[in-house]
Amino acid sequence: MFLVFVFLVCGDLPPIDLELIETISRKNATAGPSQVHISYAGKDQVLVQWVSTSEKDPSQVNYGTSASSLTMSATGNAVSYSFEGYTSGGIHYVLLPALNTSTTYYYQVGGPGQWSTTYNFKSAPVVGKDNIFIGTMGDVGADSNSELTIKGLMDVRDKIGLDLILHAGDLSYANNYNPGGPVWDHYGEILEPLASKTLYNPSVGNHETIDDFTGFKIRYGVEILENNSAGGDFYWSVDFGFVHVIMLSSETDYAPTSDQHKWLEADLAAVNRQMTPWVLAVWHRPWYCSNHAHQGEGEKMRASFEPLFDKYNVDLGITGHVHAYERVDEVLDYKVTPGKTAYIVNGNGGTPEGLASTWEAQPAWSKFRVSKWGYGSLQLVNATHGHWMMFSDTNGAVMDETWFVRKYPR
């Protein structure tokens, strides 16, 4: 069946590769496991997900510490969903429990007669371990620029190592197309070489809204991640090495009376800064950005949550939404204030909607800004020093870098 796509947004979007999408759709209808990716679920657990022909296919992962001896096995479940004339394949999810820390595991997904190739990943470090490497991206999509971002992060992983990848919302841009389901499949295919071997944790963005967020919820195990930290509605947290990572939602209620606000305060109050001296938050719509695009869209969330960031000394916020890059100084209520939260706008991951190129007069809190495609790397070296780099999609050159230097204890 040939799939016809209708653009649902205004503007001149580059056409998505219909021939490639059709090929992927045929593959998913006839082949075994595809779109394999892994997420850190907290508590030394890894969530493994993939897509197959049907939800009736087996949901099994064989794994071990040697590629030639996958002696352990875990099983899970699978679901499918339908929307706009599209029906997904079986979307499988299996939790690997009680993994050893900082250990290379090998694994296959599927079941008898339809096993995948063998993948490998490094499990999460023990809580409290320093020198953590985190890759970042936002507003990626599923076209040629998106592939450059994904390949770029693979290059960083291969050269210097990556322990975890954080995605600040807007994954596939499936809601820009009708039907959107095959675009989710396309995104899953181009993401697999990165996220099948590196822990990948995305936050929610406005382009995940298609079918009431159904594709995002199911394909990225959102409820499992939320439940492991008593979160909900796209907010949750994990301890990873010596950083406490908080995923927030700018797409659901964040008012001072909201469940998300109450959860965030309780979560921050419980952080052990001796074990996790760094606190890093990720969400989609920026609070501080001097680009003309989307001005003010994060203001209500900032007014609600910034007092908590101040009270509990959140170190860094990473966002997307604005299709450009900007590094923001330590700031509180629009005033440069040493020791307060710094911010990164990382919405330049390859979105088919193009770059946001119009800037306002540069405020004092804006340290560096550019309208170019790219991806980031954050090395948290020890309790006081973190090295940040923003790379260019074009050639992997470093466009911007800095050291975050924090007091310890906070």
Q: Which phi and psi (to 5°) does residue 155 adopt?
A: -65, -45
Which pLDDT score, from 0 to 100, does residue 27 have? 57
Q: Is pLDDT at 188 greater than 80 in this prediction?
A: yes
Q: Is pLDDT at 10 greater than 60 in this prediction?
A: no
∠ CA 11-346-44, nearest 5°, is 125
Q: Is pLDDT at 16 greater than 90 in this prediction?
A: no
Which pLDDT score, from 0 to 100, does residue 403 have? 98
* Chain CA centroid to CA 130, Å: 21
Tokens of 120: 């490998």
Residue 50 CB partners (closer than 8 Å, separation 6+): 33, 34, 35, 36, 37, 91, 92, 109, 110, 116
CATH number of 24-122: 2.60.40.380
Percentage with pLDDT > 90 across the chain: 90
Q: Is pLDDT at 216 greater than 70 in this prediction?
A: yes
Q: Is pLDDT at 9 greater than 70 in this prediction?
A: no
Q: Is pLDDT at 17 greater than 80 in this prediction?
A: no
Tokens of 355: 């770059």
pLDDT digits (tens, 9 = 90+) for 42-70: 999 999 999 999 999 999 999 999 999 99
47, 106, 143, 201: CA torsion to nearest 10: 30
CA distance linking residue 76 with residue 68, whole number of Å: 23
DSSP 333: T
Which pLDDT score, from 0 to 100, does residue 28 have? 55
**Topology given in CATH for the domain delimited by 132-405:** Purple Acid Phosphatase; chain A, domain 2 (3.60.21)
CA distance linking residue 105 with residue 131, whole number of Å: 21
Mean pLDDT of all residues in 349-360: 97
Mean pLDDT of all residues in 273-277: 96
Q: Which phi and psi (to 5°) does residue 371 adopt?
A: -100, 80
Angle formed by the axes of helices 18-30 and 181-195, to 10°? 80
209, 214, 219, 225: CA torsion to nearest 10: 90
Mean pLDDT of all residues in 20-27: 57
Q: What are the distances in angstroms from CA 323 to CA 84, 290, 300, 348? A: 28, 12, 20, 5
Matching residue, tokens 């990943």 = 121
Domain boundaries, the chain: 24-122, 132-405
pTM, 2 dp:
0.94
Task: State the catalytic residue, choosing from 294, 321, 323, 385.
Answer: 294
CA distance linking residue 409 with residue 387, whole number of Å: 19
Which pLDDT score, from 0 to 100, does residue 32 have? 77
Task: Answer whether 89's CB lies under 8 Å from 110's CB.
Answer: no
DSSP 286: -
Which pLDDT score, from 0 to 100, does residue 410 have? 85
pLDDT digits (tens, 9 = 90+) for 296-320: 999 999 999 999 999 999 999 999 9
pLDDT digits (tens, 9 = 90+) for 239-252: 999 999 999 999 99
Q: Which phi and psi (to 5°) does residue 396 adopt?
A: 75, 5
Which pLDDT score, from 0 to 100, does residue 100 have? 98
Tokens of 268: 């921050």
pLDDT digits (tens, 9 = 90+) for 359-377: 999 999 999 999 999 999 9
pLDDT digits (tens, 9 = 90+) for 64-116: 999 999 999 999 999 999 998 999 999 999 999 999 999 999 999 999 999 99
Nearest to 102 by CA among 161, 183, 185: 161
Confidence band (pLDDT; 50, 70, 90) for 385?
Answer: very high
Which amino acid is located at 113 in the chain? G
Task: Answer whether 40's CB lies under 8 Å from 240's CB.
Answer: yes
* Chain CA centroid to CA 111, Å: 28
Which pLDDT score, from 0 to 100, does residue 251 have? 98
Residue 14: cis peptide before it, omega within 30 degrees of 0? no
Task: Give the chain's count of helices (H) and strands (E).
Answer: 7, 25
Angle formed by the axes of helices 259-269 and 299-311, to 10°? 20
Mean pLDDT of all residues in 125-130: 96
Q: Is pLDDT at 1 greater than 90 in this prediction?
A: no
Which pLDDT score, from 0 to 100, does residue 314 have? 98
Task: Answer whether 245's CB lies under 8 Å from 280's CB.
Answer: yes
Q: What are the distances in angstroms from CA 161 to CA 48, 131, 132? A: 21, 11, 9
- H-only helix segments in 196-297: 214-219, 222-227, 259-269
Residue 294 annotated as catalytic: yes
Which pLDDT score, from 0 to 100, does residue 4 have? 35
Which amino acid is located at 232 in the chain? G
How confident is the prediction for the chain on average, in pLDDT? 93
Which pLDDT score, from 0 to 100, does residue 24 have? 58
Compute the Cα dihedral for 284, 215, 187, 145 and give only its sign: negative
Tokens of 68: 């030639």
Q: Is pLDDT at 7 greater than 70 in this prediction?
A: no
